[in-house]
Amino acid sequence: MSVSVASLHAMPDSSRSSITAAVYLDHLDGESRRFTDVLARVDPAVPVPTCPDWTAADLVWHLTEVQWFWGSIAEGRITDADAVYAVDNDKPPRPSDYQELLALSGTARERLIAAVADGPDDTALWSWAAEQTLGFTRRRQAQEALIHRVDAELTAGIPVAPLDAQLAADGIDEVLTVMWGDVPAWASFSSTDLVVALETADTGDAWLVELGRMVGTSPRSGKSYDEPTTTVLAPGSRAADALVRASAADLDLWLWNRGVTGMTRSGDQAALDSVARLVAAGVQ
C-alpha cells in the first residue's frame, strides 16, 4: 500500500537558508532564559518526566555543562578532535546549591552566545557530526535549548509554551538528517525497504525517509552499533508506504519523544510501527 503525498518536497537546506545566524542566536537566548526561569520556581528534587532518573537540578546541570562545553569549543575555534577531551575536562564543578547552579546556567548561556555570535556559518569548528562548522553548532544549540525548555515546563507541570513553527520545522529536519540520518563513514545503512512521508500541516514542509538500521564499529571507541535509523530520500524518488502529519511543533516534539496527540497517521501499519519504535527508542 502506498500513500500519495501531494507536492512533497524535501527541506534539508530550505530551513537553514531561512533561519539566519541572528535568528538562531535569538532562539538560543530566549529558550535558554525560559528554561532557567521555569526551573527557578520548582523544587530541585522534582523528577523530570521526559528524562528518567533526572531531577530538576540534574536537568539544569545538563544544559549548563552542554552550553559550557560548546562555548569552550566555539571560543577556542577548536577543530582537532584530540583537543576535545581537554575541553570536556575543563569545566566548573557542579554547585551543590541550587541557586548557584541556576546562576552558573546563566553564565554558561551568556558565554556560549558570545562564543558563537561571530563568524560565517562555514567557519571550521569541531562537532560529533559530519558537518563540523560554526553554523552547525549555532543550529544544534538552539534546538538543544528548545527541547530542554519543553522538558523544564513539563517538569514544572505548566503548559508548554508555543514553539516557533519555523524553528520546530528546522528541528524536524535536524532529527531526520543529522540525529538519525547522519550515518558515519565507518558504518553502513541496511534498509528495511519501508518508506514514510512526514508532513507539517502549518509550514508546508515535508520529508521522505527510508527506514533501516545503522550497522558498524567505531574505529575510535571500538563500540559496535546495530540500531534503527533513517535516511532522507529525494522527493518523488519513492512512493511512501505511510504518512505522518502534524503541526511542525507537534511533529518535532514527537520525534524527540516528548509526546503529542495532534497527529494523523495513515498507510502501511508495518511502516508506522517501525517509525513508532524508532521514536520510542529516543534520539541518541
* 210-242 tens-digit pLDDT: 999 999 999 988 999 998 899 999 988 999 999
pLDDT of residue 86: 85
- In a domain? residue 176: yes
pLDDT of residue 11: 47
- In a domain? residue 9: no
Average pLDDT over residues 176-196: 91
Domain end marker among 115, 144, 161: 161
Backbone angles phi and psi of 237, in degrees to 5: -75, -25
Question: Do 185 and 138 belong to one domain?
Answer: no
Burial of 284 (0-12, 13-18, 19+ CB in 10 A): exposed
Domain end marker among 126, 161, 196: 161
Average pLDDT over residues 68-95: 93
Average pLDDT over residues 46-51: 96
Question: Do 22 and 123 belong to one domain?
Answer: yes
Average pLDDT over residues 104-113: 98
**CA–CA separation, 19 vs 169, rounded Å?**
11
Question: Do 28 and 154 belong to one domain?
Answer: yes
Question: Do 33 and 62 belong to one domain?
Answer: yes
| Of the listed ranges 3-12, 43-52, 124-133, 146-155, the one predicted with least confidence | 3-12
**CA–CA separation, 198 vs 247, rounded Å?**
10
Average pLDDT across the chain, whole number: 92
pTM: 0.91
Question: Do 18 and 157 belong to one domain?
Answer: yes
Question: Do 185 and 234 belong to one domain?
Answer: yes
- In a domain? residue 3: no
Residue type, 173: D
The pLDDT of residue 209 is above 90: yes
Question: Do 22 and 48 belong to one domain?
Answer: yes
pLDDT of residue 261: 76
pLDDT band at 8 (very low <50, low <70, confident <90, very high): very low
pLDDT of residue 17: 52
Question: Do 146 and 253 belong to one domain?
Answer: no
Question: Do 35 and 124 belong to one domain?
Answer: yes
Provide the domain limits for residue 252. Answer: 166-281
Question: Do 211 and 236 belong to one domain?
Answer: yes
- In a domain? residue 1: no
Burial of 214 (0-12, 13-18, 19+ CB in 10 A): buried
Average pLDDT over residues 187-212: 95
- In a domain? residue 59: yes
Contact 115, 71 (CB under 8 A): yes
The pLDDT of residue 15 is above 90: no
Question: Do 80 and 106 belong to one domain?
Answer: yes
- How far lies 271's CA from each of 154, 161, 198, 265, in Å? 30, 31, 12, 10
- How many folded domains does the chain comprise? 2
Question: Do 171 and 265 belong to one domain?
Answer: yes
